[in-house]
Amino acid sequence: MRPLPPNVASVKIEMEAGKLDRRRIETRRSEVRQTDPHPAVGRPADSAPVVPLYDVILRRRDVRSDFSGDPVDPTVLRRVLQAAHSAPSVGLSQPWDFVVVTDPDSRRSFHAHVQTERNRFADTLAGERAETFAGIKIDGVLEASLSVVVTYDPDRGAPGVLGRHAIADAGLYSACLAIENLWLACTAEGWGMGWVSFYREGFVRELLGIPERIRPVAWLCIGPVTRLAEVPDLERHGWRERVPLDAVIHRENWKGTAGDLGTQPARAEPIGGGLPG
């Protein structure tokens, strides 16, 4: 672990001693940012958009129909991939790879495969459910500027991946965190992203020459969009409605309910010292 810069260490010491009020903390934070010897860690490049996190989370959509197909800026593409690569991972294994797919033939082949899988799923539906699904677009493979396939390598960091011995899927969860980072970064850039899951992993391995031990976790359609829909597609088409937050909160144990958690998030305070935020 690298030692804290002197100004950061002094802030930490003073906070632990209870000597810093909130205003002084913000002032010292600014000083730390200006003199941090590792300015790239944890912060985007100067040209990256500055967008409130909660706004990005709420605007994020699984895009299928609204890709413009415009060429992507390579600098922006690298920036969103860097955001994905900055995701947390079990044992710092970083078990992901990103296959950037622009080749029209590969995308057409994958699209045809997706339509086959769509038909297979449609055959399992009947009545009103089948009618609803018939009007839902499930991918933007041909419309998006490019695709990114995120893979999972279970051997990355092995043997002895710290934190994975009891939960084998922790590595797979790490790849999913990278996907979410990528999704939010695309949204912040004004791009869209759509996760296509109508495929067989073996088909994608063969199409892109991915080794057998590597799992293609997600085929993601990415690029500039004409808009981000106000209402998610599946809600708009009547496939499903959102579950309210209180229905999925359990206090203390599974039988617990949201109770008096309140309607606004509690303000977090630092525990055991350290820079807040």
Predicted local confidence at residue 210, as pLDDT: 98
Alpha helices in the chain (DSSP H): 6-16, 22-35, 53-59, 74-85, 104-122, 127-134, 170-188, 201-208, 233-236
Tell me the pLDDT tens digit for each residue of 142-200. Answer: 999 999 999 999 999 999 999 999 999 999 999 999 999 999 999 999 999 999 999 99
Task: Please tell me what DSSP assigns to residue 229.
Answer: -
| Cα–Cα distance measured from residue 229 to residue 206, given in angstroms and rounded to the nearest whole number | 34
> Which residues does 194 contact at the CB level (< 8 Å), separation at least 6?
62, 63, 64, 139, 140, 144, 220, 221
Report the pLDDT averaged over residues 135-141: 97
Look up residue 199 and give its amino acid.
Y
Mean pLDDT of the chain: 84
pLDDT band for 54, please (50, 70, 90 cuts). Answer: very high
Give me the pLDDT at residue 263, please.
61
pLDDT tier, 49 (very low <50, low <70, confident <90, very high otherwise)? confident
pTM of the model: 0.78
DSSP 8-state code for residue 113:
H
What pLDDT was estimated at residue 272? 41
Which domains can be identified in the chain, with CATH numbers?
1-43 (no CATH), 49-248 (3.40.109.10)
Q: What is the mean pLDDT of residues 258-268?
A: 64
**Which span out of 48-52, 258-262, 266-270 was modeled with the highest average pLDDT?**
48-52
Least confident of 42-46, 67-71, 167-171: 42-46
Q: How far apart are CA 109 and CA 263, in angstroms?
A: 48
Q: Is 183 helix (H, G, I), strand (E, B) or coil?
A: helix
Residue 222 has pLDDT above 50, yes or no: yes
Cβ-based neighbour number of residue 143 at 10 Å: 19
Peptide bond before residue 154 is cis, with ω within 30 degrees of 0: no
Q: Looking at the predicted structure, is the pLDDT value of residue 42 above 70?
A: no
- The token pair at 209 is 């020459």
pLDDT of residue 9: 42
163's torsion region: left (phi>0), alpha (psi -120 to 50) or beta?
A: left
Measured over the CA atoms of residue 68, residue 219, residue 242 and residue 258, the dihedral's sign is: negative
Tell me how far apart the alpha carbons of residues 156 and 243 are, in angstroms, rounded to a whole number: 36
- Dmax over CA atoms of the chain, in Å, equals 68
- Order of strands, edge to edge, in the sheet holding 146-152? 96-101, 146-152, 215-224, 191-196
Question: Alpha-carbon distance 145 to 70, whole Å?
Answer: 6
Q: How confident is the model at residue 249 (pLDDT cuts 50, 70, 90)?
A: very high
| Confidence band of 264 (pLDDT split at 50, 70, 90) | low
Lowest-confidence range among 8-17, 65-74, 145-154?
Answer: 8-17
pLDDT at 31 over 50: no
pLDDT at position 258 is: 87
